[in-house]
């Protein structure tokens, strides 16, 4: 069985991660209080070992590590309705706080806790028959999720270099923000995500708020609504591995088909159908309508417009067996936003079991050059503050060198240029082909 070890780091990561466990627990028909199956479909348990360990008396335990530098969010998970599902030693936490300081999470407070986290991680890995890789949920704007999260990623890369690493990373948003130094945290984290991660699913709160208010007609979205959106996509990305289907995929297959160049592994994600709660019983979308909504820029969970770039590659994961592949091919072939020099740039996967409450659904993962808008926003804000040396003393007091900031800025700007090169390369090849035909 191809197992995945799930890790959630920091306040945001634990909120998203816990909601993810709620989602897949319901999909697999597991009672949160007992951990035992009460599902009606045998397929719910056929591949349950991807995310769960089976204990005595038919009890299923999440293969998860929950960590934070302060006990607050961990205590709330323990006391919540799903807290009894997790093993006691899955919770690893400190008694201090990173205080939104990346250096505290990466070099001081986080570094003191990291060995305890790795001990639990090693035990989870040893219990796996055939480990596929790791999945992390964290935020890039705070201190623990960004600082300690990237430290943990680099340690895992050293210890398990041949295993896949996928992250669901919540990026800082220009409109939904209350942390002055979040751009420092994001830029310093990006430096590690570029080098040590295979797949990064990019999410930000501004885009999630827009989806909730415009597509779902929620007037005052709460973090519960936002977390539900992210957890739905997280479960759908792995649905083809957790359930049987026509064409299955896994983390490595996704990376092989989505990453044309090693550093360009940052993805836009979207979900369809997005229907307001009160309208669900009145509207049933066809396969074609789901595909159109899936590609809609308003459904992307990062604050950038894919119409401003070109898709290098994409993946569509359908949770139904009723979608006609010929319809997909017709749409992909007519979509001018895909570059021409990668043949068969769209990967499709089908899973027989739809999400709870829906007859069919689709998740979109796109490697688009438009993602550079998110990075440019971070880079521009970082540059303005760093030139003034604002807030820098909080980082140097923890032992950081200014050179790390310079290297992170340079690496981020190089990544932006590489994504720009993807679009420009496409245009250059078009001009070369036109010249050859004219000759």
Provide the residue-wise pLDDT of the chain in tens; the chain has 439 residues.
Answer: 589 999 999 999 999 999 999 999 988 888 888 888 876 777 777 788 899 998 887 889 999 999 999 999 999 999 999 999 999 999 999 998 888 999 999 999 999 999 999 999 999 999 999 999 999 999 998 899 999 999 999 999 999 999 999 999 999 876 776 788 999 999 999 999 999 999 999 998 889 888 888 888 888 888 888 888 888 888 888 888 888 766 667 888 889 999 999 999 999 998 888 876 655 544 566 767 777 788 888 889 998 888 889 999 998 888 876 666 666 665 665 567 788 888 878 888 888 788 877 878 888 899 999 999 999 999 999 999 999 999 999 999 998 999 999 999 999 999 999 998 876 655 454 445 444 444 4
Distance in angstroms (rounded) separating the CA atoms of residues 257 and 215: 30
CA distance 253 to 256: 5
pLDDT digits 0-9 by tens, 132-168:
999 999 999 889 999 999 999 999 999 999 999 999 9
pLDDT at 326: 60
Q: How many CB atoms lie within 10 A of CB 40?
A: 7
Task: State how beta strands 60-62 and 346-350 pair.
Answer: unpaired
For position 423, what pLDDT does the model report?
Answer: 64
- For 199-264, where are the alpha helices, taking DSSP H only? 205-210, 223-237, 239-242, 251-258
Question: Could you tell me which of 108, 82, 84 has the C-alpha nearest to residue 94?
Answer: 108
Question: Looking up tokens 């398990």, which residue turns up?
Answer: 160
Q: What CA–CA distance (Å, rounded) separates 196 from 89?
A: 26
C-alpha separations of 187 from 65, 69, 142, 407 in Å: 25, 21, 12, 10
pLDDT at 405: 95
Secondary structure (H, E, C), 112-152: HHHHHHHHHHHHHHHCCCEEEEEEEEEECCCCHHHHHHHHH
| pTM, two decimal places | 0.92
How many of the other CB atoms lie within 10 Å of CB of 57? 8
Q: Are 370 and 305 contacting, i.e. CB atoms less than 8 angstroms apart? A: yes
d(CA 29, CA 25): 6
Measured between alpha carbons, how far is 214 from 219 in angstroms, rounded to an integer?
Answer: 9
pLDDT of residue 232: 86
- pLDDT for position 68: 96
Alpha carbons 179 and 396: distance in angstroms, whole number: 19
pLDDT of residue 433: 43
- Burial environment of residue 154 by CB neighbours within 10 A (0 to 12, 13 to 18, 19 or more): middle
DSSP 358-421: -S--EEEEEEEGGGHHHHHHHHHHHHHHHHTTTTTHHHHTTT--HHHHHHHHHHHHHHHHHHHH
| Strands 199-204 and 266-272, sheet pairing | parallel
Q: Could you give the angle at the alpha carbon of 188 between the alpha carbons of 152 and 10, nearest 5°?
A: 45
Residue 41 host element (H or E): none
* pLDDT the model gives residue 439: 45
**Of the candidates 356, 319, 194, which has an alpha carbon nearest to the alpha carbon of residue 259?**
194
**Which tokens is 293 given?**
């909504």
Burial 187-209 (b: 16+ CB within 10 A, else e): bbbbbbbbebbbbbbbbbbbbbb
């Amino acid at each position: 069985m191809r197992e995945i070890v799930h890790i959630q780091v920091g306040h945001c990561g634990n909120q998203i991660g816990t909601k993810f466990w709620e989602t897949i627990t319901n999909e697999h028909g597991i009672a949160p209080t007992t951990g035992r199956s009460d599902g009606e479909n045998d397929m719910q348990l056929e591949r349950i070992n991807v995310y769960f360990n089976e204990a005595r008396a038919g009890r299923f335990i999440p293969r998860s590590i929950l960590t934070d530098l302060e006990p607050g969010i961990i205590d709330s998970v323990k006391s919540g309705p799903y807290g009894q599902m997790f093993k006691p030693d899955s919770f690893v936490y400190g008694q201090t706080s990173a205080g939104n300081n990346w250096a505290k999470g990466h070099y001081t407070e986080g570094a003191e806790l990291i060995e305890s986290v790795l001990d639990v991680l090693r035990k989870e890995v040893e219990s796996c028959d055939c480990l596929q890789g790791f999945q992390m949920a964290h935020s890039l704007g705070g201190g623990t999720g960004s600082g300690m999260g990237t430290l943990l990623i680099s340690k895992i890369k050293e210890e398990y270099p041949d295993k896949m690493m996928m992250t669901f990373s919540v990026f800082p948003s220009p409109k939904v923000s209350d942390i002055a130094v979040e751009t420092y945290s994001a830029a310093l984290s990006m430096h590690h995500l570029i080098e040590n991660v295979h797949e990064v699913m990019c999410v930000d709160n501004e885009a999630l708020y827009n989806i909730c208010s415009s597509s779902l007609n929620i007037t005052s979205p709460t973090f519960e609504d936002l977390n539900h959106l992210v957890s739905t996509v997280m479960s759908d990305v792995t649905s083809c591995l957790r359930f049987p289907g026509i064409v299955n995929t896994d983390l490595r297959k996704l990376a092989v088909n989505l990453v044309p160049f090693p550093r360009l592994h940052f993805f836009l994600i979207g979900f369809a159908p997005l229907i307001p709660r009160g309208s669900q019983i009145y509207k049933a979308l066809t396969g074609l309508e789901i595909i159109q909504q899936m590609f809609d820029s308003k459904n992307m969970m990062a604050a950038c417009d894919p119409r401003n770039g070109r898709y290098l590659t994409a993946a569509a994961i359908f949770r139904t067996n009723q979608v006609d592949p010929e319809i997909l091919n017709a749409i992909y072939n007519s979509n001018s936003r895909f570059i021409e020099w990668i043949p068969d740039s769209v990967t499709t996967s089908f899973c027989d079991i739809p999400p709870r409450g829906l007859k069919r659904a689709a998740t979109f993962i796109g490697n688009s050059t438009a993602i550079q808008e998110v990075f440019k926003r971070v880079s521009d804000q970082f540059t303005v503050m760093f030139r003034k040396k604002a807030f820098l003393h909080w980082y140097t007091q923890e032992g950081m060198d200014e050179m790390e900031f310079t290297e992170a800025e340079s690496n981020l700007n190089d990544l932006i240029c590489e994504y720009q090169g993807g679009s420009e390369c496409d245009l250059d090849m078009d001009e070369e082909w036109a010249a050859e035909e004219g000759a």
